[in-house]
C-alpha cells in the first residue's frame, strides 16, 4: 500500500514552495546556536551561559526546547 522513498526523489516544482523552503532554511540558519541550544542543554543537565531565546523557547514556558 505504501512505499518508502528517498527525499532526493522529491522535487519541489512550484517556485512559491521553493522560495518558502529557502526562507525557512535561512531563518533557522540565522539563529545563534548557543541561544538555540540553551534550553536543550539545561534540560540535559549541561551548563549554559547563553541567553535563552525567550517566547515559547523561554524557561518555564511549558513548551521550551521544541523548536
* More confident: 60 or 40: 40
pLDDT tens profile 9-24: 888 778 888 899 899 9
pLDDT of 63 > 70? The answer is no
Alpha-carbon distances, residue 65 vs 11, 12, 19, 36 (angstroms): 31, 29, 27, 8
* Count of alpha carbons within 13 angstroms of residue 63, beta-carbon side: 4
Amino acid at each position: 500500500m505504501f512505499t518508502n522513498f528517498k527525499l532526493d526523489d522529491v522535487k519541489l516544482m512550484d517556485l512559491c514552495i521553493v522560495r518558502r523552503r529557502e526562507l525557512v532554511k535561512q531563518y533557522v540558519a540565522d539563529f545563534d546556536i548557543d541561544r538555540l541550544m540553551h534550553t536543550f542543554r539545561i534540560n540535559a543537565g549541561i551548563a549554559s551561559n547563553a541567553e535563552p531565546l525567550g517566547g515559547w523557547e523561554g524557561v518555564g514556558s511549558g513548551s521550551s526546547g521544541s523548536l
